[in-house]
Structures are given as C-alpha cells and as structure tokens.
Structure 1
Amino acid sequence: MLVRPISPDLLVEELADRIAAEPRDRWLRVAVDGAPAAEPGRLADALAGPVRLRGRAVLRVSARDFLRPASLRFEFGRRDPDVFHDHWLDEGGLVREVLAPLEPGGTGKVLPSLWDPVRDRATRARYETVPAGGVLLLDGALLLGRGLPLDLTVHLSLSAPALARRTPEDEAWTLPAYARYDAESRPLQAADVTVKVDDPRHPALATGT
C-alpha cells in the first residue's frame, strides 16, 4: 500500500474536489467511516463548507442518530462487542429514511435523525429535501461491509495501538468490535479512499494494495 503524507487542510480540499467532480445529474451519498477516536464527524463537518463552495448542496447526517433503542442495543448487556458490531446501528432506518430517498428516481426527502440515544426516544426531526445533485455527508463507525447503498466512501484508519491509545477507558470494551471489523469487512480495501490518521495532525492518503 502506497502512503502519501498530506496536511489536514489539503486533505479536505482534495476530498472536496473529488466529491464536487462527481456527476451532478444525481444525488451523491458520501460516507466518512471511522471509529469515534478517528473523528469521522470532524472530517465530514470540515467537508461541508468546501463542497458547498464548489456549487453542490450538502446535507450532514450522523449514523449515531440512527442507533436502535436501548432495549435492543443492551438486550444482551451494555458492553457486548459483538452486539455493538452487529446490532447497534439501525441499518433499516438509515436506508429507509436517508439513503433510499437519494437513489435515482427517489424523492430526495431525507429524515436527518431518527433516534436520540441519550434520551432514548425519537428525535421527531422534520424531513429535509436535498436538491437535485446535492450531496449527503454521512459520518459513523462500522459502516462498510453492510451493503449500505453509498456512492463514495472514505475510511479513517487507526492502527490497533493508536486506536487503543485514543479510545477512552470506558469505551475500551468496543476495541474487539473494531478488530473484528478490520478482519471481516476489510475497510482499508473496501473504501474508495483510505486515510491513515494515527497522528491526526499528519494524516496520510493510502492507495493501492
């Protein structure tokens, strides 16, 4: 795998260029995937403005707003890494309310959030219409390898030591889930773009095998 060092600012500009260059006759569903320690939400947020400046409407959505209710997430305990890997994300809700409406011929009407995992209740968000040619910027963890209908995927990669070092102690129980994700979903190979972020001040674009 070839690795090219890049500054955080240039990374955003290059990704924004790539997103803006995609065909404008359809919606574009972009996912920024990574463990919370890799801060995929930060990168997705940073991309929104530059993509808009390049002439494309943007809607930001976070997968954390599409988790299952606590009764389902914690059915087998609060710290089961396999349940976290397999069942925390409400894939059906994410597809139904966000991704499917942006299929060719879709309505373009997207529900930006579905479930508040802190209050454990529906967010009661209102639907938003994404204009033709608009871009969905979705961030989240463990998104690849699920068959989600996405058009462009960016994976933020952390080595196992870096992930362990940057994961809060009370979330260390999730580490086996990310190890399993790397082994089974192979996000480095599955993503359209892979960025190594062991040192967030000095990211690196990874290409090839």
Structure 2
Amino acid sequence: MRPPISQEQESLLGELRAELRQHHRRGRLLVAVDGRDGAGKTLFADALADALRDDGSTVFRASADDFHRPRAERYARGRTSAEGHYRDSYDTEALLERLLRPFRAGAPFVRATHDLGEDRAVAPEAETAPADAILVVDGLFLLRPELRDVWNWSVWLDAPLDVAFGRMAERDGSDSDPLAASNARYRAGFDLYLQDGDPRGRASVILDNTDPRHPVRVFRDFC
C-alpha cells in the first residue's frame, strides 16, 4: 500500500495536472516520469496517475521495468559495463512498438514484454485505450534520443546520489555507497545517459524529489 500523500504533494500534483491539461485537452496522451534509479519515479508516477484520474480522466500506468531485455543481452558487454547498462538494459523497440505507438494510435497494446525477476518473455492480453486517455510511464532512460519525441509531456525527478543509492539499498539490498564498486555500472551508465542530448533539460517539468513528501519544482535559468 502506498503511503498517503502530503498536502504539499497534493497541491503540486494538482498544479501539474492543470498544466498538462492546459496544453493537452483531449486525445491519447503519453506522459513519462524519468530520473535516476532511486529518485522515486514509481511512487511519483502512481500519485500523478491518481491525480489525473481525479478530474475524470481515463489513466493507464506502465513501467519501463516491464520492457527489459533478457539477462544475457543486458550483460553481454560485461557485468560492470556502464555502456551495457545504458545501451542494453531496455528493449526500447518493444516499448515503442508494443506500447507507446499503439496506445497513441488507438491500436491494441501490451504493458509488458518481459518478467525481470524470472528473466522470461511474457505475453499479457492486449488492451485498447479510448479516444481520450493518458498513459503514465515511469522508468530509466525514457528521454533518450530514441524515445524523447514520442512523449506529450514529461517529468524529471532529481535526488542526490546518496539519497538515491540509499533508497536502492533499502529496496534491493545493495550497497548504499554511491562510490562502491558494485554501483559503478549504474552510476556511470546514468552519467552516459545525461551526456546523451541533455535528457533532464528536455523534460517538461523538473522536480527536486529529495523528500518525496515535500517535492520542490526546479525552474530552469535560461539567461
């Protein structure tokens, strides 16, 4: 069960909903929630989806974690490869062709192609979305060059390294030290992503999610 959201979170989510609807009144909309691992993407995306439902919108939720590549492909460049983490973790083509593009077109789509825990392909029953619907997707690398133009709107979550890796340690039992050797693949892989066309700068909204109960909007300085 998700923890109840704070009044501050509720207010911010209401502002974001109004902003999204100001730009996109109707149609099938694709919304990305991106940021480094441990930034709080899943919980935020769930809360955003609930806030969007509150105005009567039909909302679907999905996660890039259900579009991983098989383990052999993910580690083909080596267990410690940062390039492998960024380039090979996710089946970007499947995410596009099985979920995002069909959703936008009103065609049958699936919300998963791979079970990460069991490392096997899955074939869930296909769904279709009504003419006015929103798909909220959370995950790593959603604003990479191959995907960034498909989204109608996107949120980027910031969190300091120590906070993010601390959350990962609590969730996964990993080392909480960002500089630990076991974390090098993920830290450096995300750095490669940040260098690949400034994904953070391309997000519609940037939030400091250091404290999820007190998220703070970050406004870019264009001067």
Aligning the two structures, in what range does the TM-score lie when normalised by the shorter sequence? Answer: 0.7 to 0.9
What fraction of aligned residue pairs are identical, expressed as a percent?
A: 30
Q: 1:161 deviation in Å? A: 4.4
The aligned counterpart of 1:156 is 157
Root-mean-square deviation over aligned CA pairs? 2.0
Per-residue CA deviations over 1:127-162 (Å, capped at 9, x if unaligned) read 111111100000001211323111111000123444
* 1:3 aligned residue: none
Instruction: Output aligned runs, 1:85-96, within 5 Å.
Output: 85-96=86-97
* Structure 2 partner of 1:133: 132
Q: Is 1:190 equivalent to 2:202 in the alignment?
A: yes
Equivalent-residue separation in structure 2 for 1:32 and 1:135 (angstroms)? 13
Indicate the larger mover: 86-95 or 51-60: 51-60
**What is the identity, as a one-letter code, of the residue corresponding to 1:184?**
D
Q: Secondary structure at the match of 1:37?
A: coil
The structure-2 alpha-carbon separation of the partners of 1:16 and 1:153, relative to structure 1 and needing over 3 Å to count, comes to: same
1:68 is paired with a residue of what secondary structure? Answer: coil
Deviation track 1:92-122 (CA, whole Å, cap 9, x = no partner) reads: 000001111133xx23322011100111112
The 5-angstrom pairing of residues 41-52 of structure 1 reads 41-52=42-53
| Alignment partner of 1:10 is 2:11 | yes
Instruction: Out of 67-76 and 20-29, give the one that drifted further.
Output: 20-29
Structure with bigger strand share is 1
Q: Are residues 1:199 and 2:200 paired?
A: no
The runs of 4+ residues in structure 1 deviating greater than 4 Å are none
How has the CA–CA distance of structure 1 residues 24 and 203 changed in structure 2, closer, same or farther, with 3 Å as cutoff?
A: closer
Distance 1:178 1:166 in 2: 16
Distance 2:60 2:115 in 1: 19
Partner letter of residue 94 of structure 2? G
Paired with 1:143 and 1:109, the residues of 2 have a C-alpha distance of 21
Kindly tell me the number of residue pairs found equivalent between the two proteins. Answer: 202
| Structure with larger RCO (C-alpha < 8 A, sep 6+) | 1
